[in-house]
């Protein structure tokens, strides 16, 4: 394995990103072995400590494993990697097909949010339902400022997800709102359409408070689906040219 020497600052991070992208792109296929530590250090002009740190991060991301013979083997990341890999790709701005990754994340957001709304309406406590309704009223009072609406939207959805009683949904929600994964490549027009629909937020809160799980699920899915970017081949030319923005 060869490559241009890496910059001296944060070389382990650079090496990790380069190896990660080679694995995701198929240049290092599942079952293949990474170059020995000494050879990799020489090829990239780094010390062996940097190589060890990079390989350790690959292990933590479940992209490689160390075999009994001491070789580091590439794993089939589609079977082993978790959501933390997607977060790392979004935050770094590197890796394969980031617009598609953002679209996939927003599809997941819509699925989780719709089912969380259903569960919150079906089995959430009365206190949870009141909290959701109160948060919707505060959302309506936030005005047309998108930054204020974005923060209020996150707080409101957190109450819905907590009210669903599903811990896995809550952990996924935390991942989506804590970084750039969900909205790194979402055009402003799509997020605006969702955030400015205050009546839909109020209706959804009412469905939850009135214990109408099917109606809550339908409306939540419709509302959240507005922020899903179209696939590249289906996007209008003007929309493809629109600058992406980061929003909560």
From first to last of its 248 residues, what are the pLDDT tens digits of the chain? Answer: 556 555 545 799 999 989 998 998 899 999 999 999 999 999 999 999 999 999 999 999 999 998 877 889 999 999 999 888 877 776 666 655 667 777 888 899 999 999 999 999 999 999 999 999 999 999 999 878 888 898 899 999 999 999 999 999 999 998 888 765 554 456 677 788 899 999 999 999 999 999 999 999 999 999 999 988 887 544 444 444 343 333 33
- All structural domains of the chain with their residue ranges: 11-81, 85-245
228 Cβ partners below 8 Å, 6+ apart? 103, 106, 107, 110, 190
Domains 11-81 and 85-245 share a fold: no
CATH number of 11-81: 1.10.10.10
Cβ pair 117, 208 in contact under 8 A: yes
CATH 1.20.120.530 fits 85-245, yes or no: yes
Distances in Å between the Cα of 131 and the Cα atoms of 79, 96, 158, 161, 177 are: 39, 41, 11, 12, 20
Secondary structure (3-state) at 179: coil
Please state, in angstroms and rounded to a whole number, the distance separating the CA atoms of residues 44 and 12: 11
């Amino acid at each position: 394995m060869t490559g241009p020497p890496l910059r001296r600052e944060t070389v382990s991070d650079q090496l990790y990103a380069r190896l990660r992208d080679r694995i995701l792109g198929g240049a290092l296929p599942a079952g293949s072995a990474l170059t020995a530590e000494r050879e990799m250090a020489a090829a990239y002009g780094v010390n062996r400590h940097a190589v060890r740190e990079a390989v350790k991060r690959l292990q933590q991301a479940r992209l490689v494993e160390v075999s009994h013979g001491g070789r580091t083997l590439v794993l089939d990341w589609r079977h082993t990697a978790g959501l933390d890999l997607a977060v790392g790709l979004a935050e770094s701005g590197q890796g394969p097909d980031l617009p598609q990754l953002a679209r996939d994340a927003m599809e997941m957001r819509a699925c989780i949010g719709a089912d969380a709304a259903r569960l919150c309406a079906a089995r959430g406590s009365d206190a949870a339902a009141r909290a959701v309704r109160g948060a919707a009223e505060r959302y309506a009072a936030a005005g047309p400022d998108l930054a204020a609406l974005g923060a209020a939207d996150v707080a409101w959805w957190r109450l819905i997800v907590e009210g669903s009683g599903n811990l896995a949904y809550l952990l996924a929600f935390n991942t989506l709102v804590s970084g750039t994964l969900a909205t790194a490549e979402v055009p402003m027009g799509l997020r605006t359409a969702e955030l400015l629909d205050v009546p839909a937020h109020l209706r959804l809160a009412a469905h939850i408070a009135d214990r109408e799980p099917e109606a809550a699920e339908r409306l939540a899915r419709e509302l959240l689906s507005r922020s899903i970017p179209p696939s590249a081949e289906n996007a209008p030319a003007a929309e493809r040219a629109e600058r992406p923005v980061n929003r909560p």
